[in-house]
């Protein structure tokens, strides 16, 4: 059983990732959910996180709000992808469960400092602001974290915000630099993986056929997500990014990649937010991340449907 903290900016794909984790109590103990500004501003991401906990009937889950903007840059959001609420397509009620009063960065520091070494895995699904700010506030947490499994970056696949950068890293490249330089073991799910996990109409229909509230919410969200990305990429479905992080914790052999040195471009200009992945090991930098490149998409979606199908049974 792995203890995880999900740091997230829901976002439809973040929501599916949360549901996958909450549907998997035999393998994952979700200690808390921390929200960060990203796809939409913080007041929406923390509210959306609570909506998803309620959909999963986990009103006991502590949800914390963290940073409302990146460390250095102004906040760049993605309503153009996710809709004005961040969860368009799901049609979920306003949450009634509370938001915790503690700031997410303080929660991360306190919880990690109280934990045993290597006890907690962090799962960042959005910009890395909360995690980096916690590392700056209390550098000793780096020695506590078992592993960081994150969605972010892209190399052979390029970027999705501009030709060089993926959204999560682009929004807060300075935070990404802090995290990738921290020495904590990192597993990275870049666009090279997530662009192979396409939510095709056939795969979305499998969620709708579950006939449950969670199945319909997932189908609705993915259907909404599809409209923008299918036009953009001219594919038969939108990439389902963030659930790759949780699927890796459940079935690591769905993914393959290699250990690489990863640096983050933080200079203002056309490459800001680029992940410089030394895939061919042509620079002296030591590997600091397990960088995934491939996924067995059919098995990945089969896992998702099976787990989401556990809600409402
Ligand atoms: C990432 O950016 C967000 O839009 C998604 O939620 C995902 O975390 C993909 O680039
Ligand atoms: Ca996200």
Structure-block tokens of residue 5: 């903290």
Does the Cβ of 192 fall within 6 Å of ligand 1? Answer: no
List the domains of the chain with CATH numbers.
Answer: 2-308 (3.90.245.10)
Is the alpha carbon torsion for 165, 71, 84, 209 positive or negative? Answer: positive
- Give the active site residues: 241
Picking from 117, 130, 186, 91, the residue whose alpha carbon sits closest to that of residue 6 is 130
pLDDT tens sequence across 142-199: 999 999 999 999 999 999 999 999 999 999 999 999 999 999 999 999 999 999 999 9
Confidence of residue 41 (pLDDT cuts 50, 70, 90): very high
The pLDDT of residue 232 is: 67
pTM reported for the whole predicted model: 0.96
pLDDT at 223 over 80: yes
pLDDT tens sequence across 270-305: 999 999 999 999 999 899 999 999 999 999 999 999
**Burial letters 259-288, b for 16+ CB under 10 A, else e:** ebbbbbbbeeeebbbbbbbbeeeeeeeeeb
Structure-block tokens of residue 166: 């993926």
Contacts of 83 (CB under 8 A, 6+ apart): 89, 224
User: Are the beta carbons of 288 and 262 closer than 8 angstroms?
Assistant: yes
Does the Cβ of 125 fall within 6 Å of ligand 1? Answer: yes
State which of 17, 38, 169 you would mutate to test the pocket of ligand 1, scoring each by most atoms of that ligand within 8 A of its C-beta.
38
Per DSSP, the residues of 215-268 read HHHHHHHHHHHHHHHHHHH-SSSEE--THHHHHHHH-GGGEEEEEE-EEE--SS
The pLDDT of residue 247 is: 98
């Amino acid at each position: 059983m792995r203890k995880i903290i999900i740091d997230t900016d829901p976002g439809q794909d973040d929501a599916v990732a949360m549901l996958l984790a909450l549907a998997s109590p035999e393998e994952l103990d979700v200690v808390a959910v921390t929200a960060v500004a990203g796809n939409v501003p913080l007041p929406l991401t923390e509210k959306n996180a609570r909506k998803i906990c309620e959909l999963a009937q986990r009103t006991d889950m502590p949800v914390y709000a963290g940073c409302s903007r990146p460390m250095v840059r102004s906040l760049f959001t993605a309503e153009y992808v996710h809709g004005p609420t961040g969860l368009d397509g799901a049609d979920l009620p306003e949450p009634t469960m509370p938001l915790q009063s503690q700031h997410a960065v303080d929660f991360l520091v306190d919880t990690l400092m109280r934990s045993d070494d290597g006890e907690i895995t962090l799962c960042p699904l959005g910009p890395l602001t909360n995690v980096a700010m916690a590392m700056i506030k209390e550098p000793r947490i780096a020695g506590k974290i078992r592993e960081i499994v994150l969605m972010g970056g892209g190399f052979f696949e390029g970027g999705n915000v501009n030709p060089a950068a993926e959204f999560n890293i682009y929004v807060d490249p300075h935070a990404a630099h802090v995290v990738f330089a921290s020495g904590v073991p990192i597993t990275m799910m870049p666009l090279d993986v997530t662009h192979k996990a396409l939510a095709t109409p056939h795969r979305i229909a499998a969620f709708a056929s579950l006939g449950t509230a969670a199945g319909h919410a997932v189908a609705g969200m993915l259907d909404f997500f599809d409209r923008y990305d299918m036009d953009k990429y001219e594919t038969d479905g939108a990439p389902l990014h963030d659930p790759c992080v949780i699927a890796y914790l459940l079935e690591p052999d769905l993914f393959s990649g290699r250990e690489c040195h990863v640096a983050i471009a933080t200079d203002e200009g056309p490459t800001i937010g680029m992940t410089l992945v030394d895939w061919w090991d042509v620079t002296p930098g030591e590997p600091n991340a397990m960088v995934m490149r491939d996924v067995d998409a059919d098995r990945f979606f089969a896992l998702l449907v099976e787990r989401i199908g556990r809600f409402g049974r």
